[in-house]
Amino acid sequence: MKMFLVPIFLLASALSFCFAAARLPDSEVQALRYIAKSLRKTDWNFSVDPCTGQFGWLDPPLELFENNLTCSPGCSNGTECHVVSIILKAQSLPGTLPPNLTGLPFLQRIDLTRNYLNGSIPPGWGSSTQLVNISLLGNRLTGSIPKELANIPTLKNFTVEFNQLSGNLPPELGNMPSIERFFLSSNNFTGELPDSFARLKTLTDFRISDNQFSGKIPNYIGNWKNLAKLVIQASGLNGPIPPGIAFLENLTDLRISDLNGSEEPFPRLDNLKQLETLILRSCNITGGLPEYLGNRTTLKTLDLSFNKLSGEIPDNFVGLDKIKFLYLTGNLLTGEVPHWMWTDQGSGNRNIDLSYNKFTFEASELSNCLHSLNLFASSLIGNNS
């Protein structure tokens, strides 16, 4: 009789474990089948529970590649399982976005970066009221951004860079109460930035480069006090750089380029004391270089190329100890090239471009010129070395 006690006990334990281990609800499994069909993802294995993390549901991440479906924490211990994250990066998915995600009511993140997805962003996604992160970067999406996305109160990150989206930005998007990262670069968006965007006070990172916007950079950007990064390069917007930018004291990265419009003096940036990257390239800026830039010891990149800056390089620019890239190309700067630029004191790995200016120096000084200092066509005497 005792011979059967151990097997029976083991069988009972196994059955108890199976009943205790939670599984993904059938409704969410069906939703995943629906999503797989729409995206044309063929390697999800529905013969096992998706929350097991096996058989195509979770692969070790590689460079640029990620295949990861994540369920709610602790669900393997008997609590109810729900899909909270879908990350399918660089999967070569050729399908379209599913019309809605309501079958996954606990989904917080969907990342479909670098695929071949086409079609438009479905308005039905606005019904997914727990989404925190949407990334559709690097696909072939067309159409406009649906206004319904403003109905997602939890959305913090919205990334649609490097697609073929177009049209005006819906004013309703200014009602997103939690948005922090808003990335729209490299599309075909048109029209002016909506006035309602003045209410996006939770923004920390805003990027709209390489588009076809119109109108001026709005002064209301000064309301975005939490902003750490602002990128408006070749956006189609006109200058000047608005005075409101002076209130963005948390900025560490400011990049604006290719502004049309009238000539304006250098913008007031003296309150921006945390800058590490400052690019104001081809912005129709006139006048001299402000001395306070020499006190920005945090600066690693300073690019003021292709403006109409004049006068001499301030003496205190020698204080840019951490500068790695200093580009003053294509201006009207005069005077002598500072000694520290010839000798590259304290650095050894700076890249400085002073080409196409009107500096004064003799050809003999070029013997001290470092490979990291570009002086092509920068001299009044016409030396083009």
pLDDT in tens, 258-269: 998 889 999 999
In which residue are the tokens 């697609």 written? 163
Task: Give tens-digit pLDDT for 142-166.
Answer: 999 999 999 999 999 999 999 999 9
* Local confidence pLDDT in tens for the 385 residues of the chain: 444 444 433 333 333 333 345 589 999 999 999 999 999 999 998 988 898 877 778 887 777 899 999 998 877 666 789 999 999 999 999 999 999 999 999 999 999 999 999 999 999 999 988 999 999 999 999 999 999 999 999 999 999 999 999 999 999 999 999 999 999 999 999 999 999 999 999 999 999 999 999 999 999 999 999 999 999 999 999 999 999 999 999 999 999 999 988 899 999 999 999 999 999 999 999 999 999 999 988 999 999 999 999 999 999 998 887 899 999 999 999 998 888 887 765 555 789 999 999 998 765 555 555 667 888 888 766 555 4
Question: What pTM did the predictor assign?
Answer: 0.89
Residues 174, 147: Cα–Cα separation, whole Å? 10
Quick one: tokens of 383?
């030396």
The predicted pLDDT at position 368 comes to 57
Tell me the CATH number for domain 247-385: 3.80.10.10
Compute φ and ψ for 221, nearest 5 degrees. -60, -20
Strand, helix or coil for residue 217? coil
Question: What DSSP string describes 260-283?
Answer: BS--EEPP--TT-TT-SEEEEESS
